[in-house]
């Protein structure tokens, strides 16, 4: 990718943006794609992560939770970019993601791993619409991570958890837009990438910014 293309694409992205990837040649991506045909949302959306900078993404994958340079992921890959209209919430979601990768990334003793077989994670979420229990998500997550060997999360589940924890932190300070609460009202495992895309697209609190491929905005 030449420098001109690089800056044209990556100037679009800010920390806290949600990046949703379309199906690629990766086997796990293809299995996730097949599993999502029976659910809601565009089945070709097979992976999710949170932008940590204009050129990097925090995500769960085969090596567990880590931070990757978007430019190194593959020139042919396509991302849809969504941005929260409440920048303070998006920034806090990024902070949560960064805290988790710093403490529980793939090179840590207690770590967040990728839920065994991504397509299984998609299947589990297709018909599951369980509402969040109301118990502090941040407390439950940190209890699990600090007092066991770690946690196993699907890619979109990780993204949703980060936003849910960010919302919890803001709700202790005051009101949060009701539509934003509804967007993330279900248990985190209920969101596969396709269903997350659908919820974001319908939400009044998120903007769809662009679809990008090979350093170019294509839609």
Residue 83 burial by CB count (10 A; 0-12/13-18/19+): exposed, middle or buried?
buried
Structural tokens at position 14: 């800010």
Domain housing 15: 3-217
Q: Of all residues in the chain, what percent carry a pLDDT higher than 90?
A: 36
pLDDT tens digits for range 49-99: 999 998 889 999 888 899 988 765 545 678 999 999 999 999 999 999 999
Range from 100-114, 115-129, 199-213 carrying the lowest mean pLDDT:
115-129
Specify the higher pLDDT residue, 110 or 77: 77
| Residue matched to tokens 């900078």 | 53
Q: How far apart are CA 158 and CA 168, in angstroms?
A: 15
State whether the Cα torsion 55-19-107-76 is positive or negative. Answer: negative
Specify the higher pLDDT residue, 143 or 122: 143
Alpha-carbon distance values, 23 to 31, 42, 65, 195 (Å): 9, 11, 20, 15
Nearest to 23 by CA among 34, 8, 14: 34
Nearest to 82 by CA among 114, 50, 110, 56: 50
pLDDT tens digits for range 163-198: 999 999 988 776 778 899 999 999 888 898 999 999
The residues with which 22 forms a beta bridge, in sequence order, are 45
CATH code at 146? Answer: 3.90.1720.10
Cβ-Cβ contacts under 8 Å for 7 (sequence gap 6 or more): none
Alpha-carbon distance values, 141 to 25, 64, 93 (Å): 33, 16, 15
CA 173 to chain centre: 24
* 135-148: average pLDDT: 74
pTM for the predicted model, two decimal places: 0.83
When divided into structural domains, the chain yields a total of 1
For residue 201, the tally of other CB atoms under 10 A from its CB is 14
């Amino acid at each position: 990718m030449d420098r001109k293309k690089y800056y044209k694409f990556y100037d679009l992205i800010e920390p806290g943006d949600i990046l949703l990837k379309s199906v690629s040649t990766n086997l796990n991506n293809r299995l996730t794609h097949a599993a999502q045909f029976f659910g809601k949302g565009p089945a070709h959306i097979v992976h999710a992560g949170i932008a940590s900078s204009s050129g990097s993404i925090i995500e769960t994958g085969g090596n567990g939770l880590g931070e990757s340079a978007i430019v190194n992921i593959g020139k042919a890959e396509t991302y849809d970019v969504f941005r929260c209209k409440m920048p303070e919430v998006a920034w806090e979601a990024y902070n949560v993601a960064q805290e988790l990768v710093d403490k529980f990334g793939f090179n840590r003793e207690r770590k967040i791993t990728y839920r065994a077989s991504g397509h299984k994670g998609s299947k589990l979420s297709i018909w599951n619409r369980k509402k969040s229990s109301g118990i502090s998500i941040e407390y439950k997550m940190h209890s699990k991570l600090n007092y066991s060997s770690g946690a196993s999360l699907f890619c979109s589940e990780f993204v949703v958890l980060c936003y849910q924890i960010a919302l919890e932190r803001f709700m202790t300070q005051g009101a949060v837009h009701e539509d934003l609460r509804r967007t993330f009202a279900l248990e985190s495992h209920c969101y596969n990438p396709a269903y997350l895309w659908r919820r974001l697209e319908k939400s009044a609190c998120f903007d769809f910014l662009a679809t990008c491929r090979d350093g170019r905005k294509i839609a």
